[in-house]
Amino acid sequence: MKKRQRYQPMPTSTDVTRREFVKIGAATAAAGGIVLGVPSVPGAQERTPPPAPETNINDFMKVPKGKHALPGAFPGRVVEVKDPRSLVDDKIDAKVVAEMFERGVRTLTGKDMKESFGIFFEPGDVIGLKVNPVGPPLINTHVELTQAVVTWLLDNKVPPARIVIWDRFDYMLKDAGYTPDQFPKGVRIEGLQTMDETGNTWKDANGNHVSLDKFDKDVYYFAKGIVGKGVKGYKDDEFYLNQHVFNGEYSYFGTLVTKQLTKIVNLAAYKNTGAGISMATKNVGYGSLCNTGRLHAPLFFNVCTEVLAAPVIREKLVLNVTEALRAQYDGGPDKNAQFVYPNHAILLATDPFALDMICHRQLVAKRKEMGIAVNENPRFTDYLHYAERLGLGVANTEKIQFVRV
């Protein structure tokens, strides 16, 4: 039996090991990768990242903003809906989750569900639901929430074929329960790429990655001098290419994102990554393009701002929902059961940066409550303030309108 390849989501500037996601049947196995952010380990917290490399953020910002551009219809407005019935005896109640989603949308927009639909979408839209399948069954975006969003779209006459549930890796979607039988016929489920877990069949007959054509060579995030070779946390460049498709200075956006989807609904999970969070902005920032392993150390969380500034994201990302039915305050971004707790909440915003700021503050408070070491260095929220300077969102908590339902 061939040894399975390991998925390493978060190599970064620290040398602290973390749990990796490995598919062995339906299980996960341990230890090996490195986490984005600074975990609660003595000495690790004070490390300073190297100067950030030049990127193409200025090219992104030169493109005029359109009608739906971030921060969306409700800048700085964040709604949290809590209902203890949503998770009972460790079972999610799909009906209650659907009710929570409707209350959240209505509260966010001040409109009913049909009028709210019209705020975000137009006839003919192809709508992508970006889920987070990492850490099932505990701390991923659960099918029940995604089903509620799909029902809303179908109720407003969106054809099933124009609804696409997606993530970066196809096999992760399946592992998290995203299979055709869970959704109405015609709803698409797509990964931006295939990663071969055996490490043996990811190349085609010409020696290229089988997912090469799933990325748009004309639309990219550029990081000068960061070439995707010898990346810390990867045993060799072949290992890296299996997961990342390309090396070099360019991270290409998926063609699904650039050429098919006209709107994106971001369905994130509520979890930490070291002393930071892995929620709304990171779900899209690291999930929409390839060749990302090289970016963690030199760019830290700034990727979560600059990728969302790209017009192919900025103009399409109309709604963000962070699922916090369960939440994880340490050991993330993969699941770690000892740090997972029932939270019975979902949070909604058009502004993903305001949403992440609220969630970051909540997570810091939870870590303190549970006696976990907290590093409140501004570098863990600088990327959110950076987004505010770019006009992409609101990070100043005095300007955020946080509504609890």
CB-based contacts of 174, cutoff 8 Å, min separation 6: none
According to the model, what pLDDT value does residue 30 have? 23
Can you tell me the mean pLDDT for 55-59? 98
- What is the rounded average pLDDT of the residues 274-295? 97
The residue-averaged pLDDT of 33-52 equals: 46
Query: Helix axis angle, 143-155 relative to 113-120, nearest 10°?
Result: 90
Query: Mind giving me the DSSP string for 48-76?
Result: -PPPPPPBSHHHHHHSPP-TT-TT-SSTT
Interval 367-388 mean pLDDT: 95
Indicate the domain borders of the chain: 52-404
Nearest to 37 by CA among 13, 54, 57: 13
pLDDT digits (tens, 9 = 90+) for 160-219: 999 999 999 999 999 999 999 999 999 999 999 988 777 778 898 888 899 999 999 999
Chain centre distance of CA 7: 16
**Taking all residues of the chain, what is their mean pLDDT, rounded to a whole number?**
89
How high is the pLDDT of residue 47?
Answer: 58
Please state the rounded mean pLDDT for residues 342-360: 98
Task: Identify the pLDDT of residue 267.
Answer: 98
Coil, helix or strand at residue 343:
strand
Cβ neighbours of 356 (radius 10 Å)? 32
Distance CA 126, CA 142 (A): 22
> How far does Cα 79 stand from its chain's mean position?
19
Position with higher pLDDT, 25 vs 205: 205
11-30 mean pLDDT = 28
Give the pLDDT of residue 155.
Answer: 98
Tens digits of residue pLDDT in 353-375 = 999 999 999 999 999 999 998 99
pLDDT tier at 332, thresholds 50, 70, 90: very high
Alpha carbons within 13 A on the beta-carbon side of 291: 25
pLDDT at residue 224 greater than cutoff 80: yes
- In this prediction, residue 48 carries a pLDDT of 63
Q: What are φ and ψ of residue 14, in 5° steps?
A: -90, 165
pTM of the predicted protein model? 0.89
Among 347, 351, 338, 355, CA closest to 145: 347
Q: Which tens digits make up the pLDDT trace of 125-136?
A: 999 999 999 999
pLDDT at 153 over 80: yes
